[in-house]
Structure 1
Amino acid sequence: MARTAASGDSRKRGSIRARGNSLQVRVYAGVDPVTGKPAYLTETVRGTDKAAHRAANKVMTKLQAQVDGQRSASTSVSLSYAIDEWLRTADIESTTRHGYVGYIERSIRPTLGDIPINKLTARMLETFYGELRRCRIRCSGRPFVEHNAEGEHDCGKLKCRPHKCKGMAPSSVRQIHSIISGVLNAAVRWDWITSNPARIAQRPKQTPPQPDPPSPAEAARLVEKAFALDEDWGTLVWLVMTTGIRRGEVCALRWSRVDFDEGIVEIRRSYTTLRGVGTEKDTKTHQMRRIALDTETTVLLREHLARCQQRYEALGVQWNADSYVFPGTRGNDPSVPYPPDAVSSRYKKMAKRLGIDTHIHALRHYSATELLTAGIDLRTVAGRLGHGGGGATTLRVYAAWVAAADRKAAEILGSRMPRVNRGGE
């Protein structure tokens, strides 16, 4: 049985029809701008009696008002289609895009890809996030063996093992949420949906940063070992330790950005590799910054420059001011920078031989914490690190060391206060 309003265009007015023990309200919402097919708003009302029909008429009036006010979803394309369009149009750096595609293909598309974007809800997203936190492959919870090959094979040789649930880290789930939210924000801008459900969906809380810098004694051992291995390598480790610049930034540094007279180094670019191909890009915060160098660091860089020039002259290699400060290919080609991954790997191996569990990025933490502990103001430290927000990021990451510096400041101020006689003393 179908019932359509008597007046006006029947397709525009909509219809109410029986579907088993319920009524389906259907209102024409125009042509889908993406698929070119007719689009309809539908809603189900339980029951088929007179009361259900009255409720269905109210629902139809509500849906018609949505269409008239252009508040209805204008397309029912899948999330997978929207993701493809977003990736095609979004301005995303290559390394970031590579990471996004990994999350999309492994987690988002297999689970939510076929769902129409106008049917996606905050509840669906929160359920999805919860499943990922329980098990990254969203298993059924029943025991099974994770096979490393398809078809018949010898599990013993391939080391196939019983599956053990391993939840995805909160930071990874937050990254997935960010991707989905970005896609749906674009869908809102394109008038494909009226609102973004990811805006109200709860995501895992962000884990507080826990920087673990080496101690001053460990830092001394690390830099001493670096110079013992190689003067060029020791200079690189020293520069990162004293300036707190990022790994990619030290690899992208050119001699034209080192001002020996002023004792300043300009950080303008970062270097990254993806699938073996290296590229220069903007810094992480897309900002240029100038970092003051101490006298010892300036002397070390002058000596490093002299060594480089002598080496290139002996090899017959041309050098100019745009040459990289720390070249790759064993330092023999000034036009190729030291690969960031190679820097991390070499530093990790060096620290392991010393019995120190650390990584190259921890030197950035060392620089920041030493400055804060010495009482340097937060804005200056943030400027050297390249943090945005006027020091908000620095405060969030290094809150414990800021508190220690604040305690030191209080003691200094207290010691300088005039003594007051109390109680007639």
Structure 2
Amino acid sequence: MTTPRQSAPSPSSPTRPQAAAIVMEASNDPGWGMFVWLALTTGAPGGELCVLRWDDVDIDAGAVAIGGRRSGLDAETITLLRAHLAHCRAQAAMLGIERRPGAYVFSTSPDGGAAPEPDTVVERYARTCASLGWTMHLDRLPHYSAAELVAAGVDVRALHWRLQRGLSRIQRRPSA
């Protein structure tokens, strides 16, 4: 006798409090926290964020061009992007390498020359949510404003601090 197969739980979209918890969990890795924050606050698909370059971000004007669409950014997101850029530059400087012109915002290499694979990002998001006990997928993200996420419990100061001072895996390697 075979046992009936249980279907996998259907993924859902996060509520505001869940979205806030996901951002805070993701921010244990500063770059990943920034990716999730930007996905939530812009509503951009993960694949489009994977290929986002710093040339597409106008921090001074508070705007970003994602997938051919130009969107305004709120003050919190601008502050976080500035901190993320400083973090990326510091990583490269620490390794004694130059950042590439047109570097990817969420590069998998310190020089900014390699974009993350969309499938890897989708899997990582699912794992982040699973660590909190939820079955969710990156393609089901609603668009939340920064104000909604802050009201739901995201500590922007903590996220900013992690971006400024957070140590990446590269920085944790002991020096020879």
TM-score, normalised to structure 1's length? 0.31
Q: 2:119 aligns with which of 333, 338, 341?
A: 341
Q: Which residue of 2 aligns with 1:282?
A: none
Q: 1:294 aligns with which of 71, 74, 85?
A: 74
> Are positions 1:235 and 2:34 aligned together?
yes
Q: Which runs of 5+ in 2 are unaligned?
A: 3-10, 149-176
**Aligned mates of 2:12, 2:121 — CA distance in 1:** 19
> Are positions 1:253 and 2:52 aligned together?
yes
Q: Which residue of 2 aligns with 1:82?
A: none
Q: 1:305 aligns with which of 85, 97, 111?
A: 85
What SS is found at the alignment partner of 1:332?
A: coil
**Aligned mates of 1:309, 1:219 — CA distance in 2:** 28
Report deviation, 1:316.
Answer: 2.1
1:143-182 C-alpha deviation (Å, 9 max, x unpaired): xxxxxxxxxxxxxxxxxx9xxxxxxxxxxxxxxxxxxxxx
What SS is found at the alignment partner of 1:361?
A: helix
Q: 1:356 aligns with which of 101, 119, 134?
A: 134
**Aligned mates of 1:320, 1:349 — CA distance in 2:** 30
1:292-333 C-alpha deviation (Å, 9 max, x unpaired): 1111001100000000001111112221440000011xx424
Report deviation, 1:267.
Answer: 1.7
**Paired letter, 2:91:** R
Q: Which residue of 2 aligns with 1:219?
A: 19
CA contact (8 A) 2:91 2:110 kept: yes
**Paired letter, 1:221:** A
Q: How many residue pairs align between the two structures? A: 137
**Paired letter, 1:262:** A
Report deviation, 1:348.
Answer: 0.7
**Shift >4 Å, 4+ stretches:** none
Q: Which runs of 5+ in 1 are unaligned?
A: 1-160, 162-210, 269-287, 375-425
- Kindly name which structure, 1 or 2, has the bigger radius of gyration based on alpha carbons: 1
CA contact (8 A) 2:107 2:113 kept: yes
CA contact (8 A) 1:324 1:334 kept: yes
**Aligned mates of 2:94, 2:86 — CA distance in 1:** 12
**Paired letter, 2:63:** I
* Greater share of strand: 1
**Aligned mates of 2:74, 2:101 — CA distance in 1:** 22
CA contact (8 A) 1:319 1:334 kept: yes
Taking every aligned residue pair, what percent have the same amino acid on both sides? 40
CA contact (8 A) 2:92 2:98 kept: yes
**Aligned mates of 1:222, 1:318 — CA distance in 2:** 32
**Paired letter, 1:338:** P
What SS is found at the alignment partner of 1:356?
A: coil
CA contact (8 A) 1:254 1:321 kept: no
1:33-92 C-alpha deviation (Å, 9 max, x unpaired): xxxxxxxxxxxxxxxxxxxxxxxxxxxxxxxxxxxxxxxxxxxxxxxxxxxxxxxxxxxx
Matches within 5 A, 1:38-77: none
CA contact (8 A) 1:309 1:319 kept: yes
CA contact (8 A) 1:317 1:333 kept: yes
**Paired letter, 1:319:** R
Q: Which residue of 2 aligns with 1:201?
A: none
What SS is found at the alignment partner of 1:265?
A: strand
**Paired letter, 1:326:** F
- How large is the RMSD of aligned CA atoms in angstroms? 2.0
Q: Which residue of 2 aligns with 1:138?
A: none
**Aligned mates of 2:62, 2:12 — CA distance in 1:** 29
**Aligned mates of 1:221, 1:321 — CA distance in 2:** 34
